[in-house]
């Protein structure tokens, strides 16, 4: 499989943010990213305000984060428009922009059209990382057709790197085999202390093959922040019926959060910052937590600049392994 380089050089404002290579691309992205699903609208709660989401992106950049991730389905493109407004404040060359084509737009011509629409909403001439949001389960579009469309966009300079999202190893291997002049540099998957399914196959594969794992939902949709307890759970449309927040599960997760708080106290860090650092300690993993406000963005950035000890990692792993959540 051929590798390739991305000519644009991204310089984040913060001098102390650690950088890491995106796959085998040669491009450096911040060790911690920012997800923009929340910027899509009110799905994440009535307290979501566009100006706050823009301010959150700007604050993240000021703290050294250069990776912003969005998607065409977030608020039917509204998230991309919010990101565009933030880019005007920050400067295009200072942010690495990742977005995704929906699993319902995976036919060759649909991919091309979706990319053009995303470019227009983002107000940019090239997408830094274009990802397949999820495999085309319902439309049954051959994955080879989708990947060839992405490769066409890559050759035209419309996109600088190709990624996937929510792909199992078998899907990753098929996607990579369909490319001839590029490679898949990342797989964006759900990964947190309370959602560890990728550790069975996807994570070992990506670490071996040097594919970056972009971890979405790194705080368990907020369950690992300590903000929620039994009787106090989020009521937005995204999380209202999520199994993390069912009475039995949130009680069990609260026990884990207490361990996170005790570990964090030694470092002057919160439970959420410990949970993010736990992910950052793993090779090839880049968490992309969301932020509704600049305060949340600043809090997320506090997960960087320090490290859990080997003993603390072992303590956390024992607590995680003893956790049993009901999924039905």
| Count of structural domains within the chain | 1
Asked whether residue 323 is domain-assigned, the answer is: no
Could you give the dihedral angle defined by the CA atoms of residues 34, 20, 190 and 275, in that order, rounded to the nearest 10 degrees?
Answer: -80
pLDDT at 15: 53
Neighbour count for residue 141 (Cβ, 10 Å): 20
pLDDT at 5: 37
**Whether residue 9 has pLDDT greater than 70:** no
Q: What is the pLDDT of residues 21-64, one digit of tens each?
A: 999 999 999 999 999 999 888 887 888 899 999 999 999 999 99
User: Within 13 Å, how many C-alpha atoms sit on residue 38's CB side?
Assistant: 30
In the three-class reduction of DSSP (H, G, I as helix; E, B as strand; rest coil), residue 172 is classed as: helix
Q: What is the mean pLDDT of the chain?
A: 93
**Whether residue 127 has pLDDT greater than 60:** yes
pLDDT at 99: 98
Q: How far is CA 253 from the centre of its chain?
A: 22
First to last CA, the chain: 41
Q: Catalogue the active-site residues.
A: 74
Q: Where are the alpha helices (DSSP H) in the chain?
A: 50-62, 78-90, 108-122, 143-156, 169-177, 202-209, 247-267, 271-280, 294-301, 310-321
The mean pLDDT of 2-31, rounded to a whole number, is: 71
Specify the CATH number for the domain of residue 287. 3.20.20.100
**Whether residue 2 has pLDDT greater than 60:** no
Asked whether residue 316 is domain-assigned, the answer is: no
Domain of residue 57 covers 19-221+282-306
The share of the chain scoring above pLDDT 90, in percent, equals 86
pLDDT at 4: 37
Asked whether residue 11 is domain-assigned, the answer is: no
Asked whether residue 107 is domain-assigned, the answer is: yes
Q: Residues in the chain, how many?
A: 328
Distance separating alpha carbons of residues 163 and 271, to the nearest angstrom: 30
The mean pLDDT of 229-244, rounded to a whole number, is: 88
Span of 25-39, 59-73, 130-144 with lowest mean pLDDT: 130-144
Q: Return all residues near 187 (Cβ < 8 A) that are at least 6 apart.
A: 163, 164, 165, 167, 172, 202, 206, 211, 212, 213, 214
pTM: 0.94
The band of 167, judged by pLDDT with boundaries at 50, 70 and 90, is very high
Asked whether residue 193 is domain-assigned, the answer is: yes
The band of 237, judged by pLDDT with boundaries at 50, 70 and 90, is confident
Neighbour count for residue 326 (Cβ, 10 Å): 10
Q: Return all residues near 154 (Cβ < 8 A) that are at least 6 apart.
A: 160, 161, 162, 181, 182
pLDDT at 181: 93
Q: Return all residues near 36 (Cβ < 8 A) that are at least 6 apart.
A: 53, 57, 68, 69, 70, 74, 79, 82, 83, 290
Asked whether residue 210 is domain-assigned, the answer is: yes
Asked whether residue 187 is domain-assigned, the answer is: yes
Distance separating alpha carbons of residues 298 and 303, to the nearest angstrom: 9
In this structure, what are the phi and psi dihedrals at residue 13, rounded to the nearest 5 degrees? Answer: -70, -40
In the three-class reduction of DSSP (H, G, I as helix; E, B as strand; rest coil), residue 25 is classed as: coil
Name the nearest CA neighbour of 57 among 102, 100, 92, 8.
92
Helix axes 310-321, 247-267, angle to 10 degrees: 170
Distance separating alpha carbons of residues 170 and 200, to the nearest angstrom: 13
pLDDT at 328: 75
pLDDT at 1: 43
Asked whether residue 236 is domain-assigned, the answer is: no
């Amino acid at each position: 499989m051929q590798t390739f380089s991305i000519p644009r050089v991204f310089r984040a404002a913060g001098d102390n943010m650690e950088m890491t290579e995106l796959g085998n691309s040669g491009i450096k992205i911040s060790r911690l990213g920012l997800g923009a699903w929340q910027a899509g609208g009110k799905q994440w709660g009535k307290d979501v305000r566009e100006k706050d989401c823009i301010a959150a992106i700007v604050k993240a950049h000021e703290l050294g984060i250069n990776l912003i991730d969005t998607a065409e389905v977030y608020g039917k493109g509204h998230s991309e428009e919010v990101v565009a407004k933030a880019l005007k404040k920050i400067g295009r060359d200072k942010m690495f922009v990742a977005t995704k084509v929906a699993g319902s737009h995976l036919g060759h011509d649909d991919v091309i059209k979706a990319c053009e629409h995303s470019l227009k909403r983002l107000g940019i001439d090239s997408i830094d990382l274009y990802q397949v949001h999820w495999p085309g389960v319902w439309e049954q579009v051959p994955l080879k057709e989708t990947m060839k469309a992405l490769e066409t966009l890559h050759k035209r300079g419309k996109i600088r790197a190709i990624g996937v999202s929510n792909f199992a190893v078998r899907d990753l291997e098929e996607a990579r085999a369909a490319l001839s002049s590029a490679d898949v540099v990342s797989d964006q998957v759900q990964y947190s202390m309370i959602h560890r399914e990728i550790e069975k196959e996807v994570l070992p594969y990506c670490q071996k093959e040097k594919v970056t794992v972009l971890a979405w939902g790194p705080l368990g949709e907020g369950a690992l922040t300590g903000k929620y307890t039994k009787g106090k759970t989020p009521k937005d449309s995204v999380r209202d019926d999520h199994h993390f927040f069912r009475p039995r599960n949130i009680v069990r997760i609260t026990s884990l959060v207490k361990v996170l708080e005790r570990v964090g106290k030694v470092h002057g860090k919160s439970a959420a910052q410990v949970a993010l650092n736990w992910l950052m300690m793993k090779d090839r993993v880049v968490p992309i937590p969301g932020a509704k406000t600049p305060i949340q963005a600043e809090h997320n950035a506090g997960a960087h600049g320090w490290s859990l000890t080997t003993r603390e990692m072992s303590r956390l792993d024992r607590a995680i392994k003893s956790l049993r959540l009901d999924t039905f």
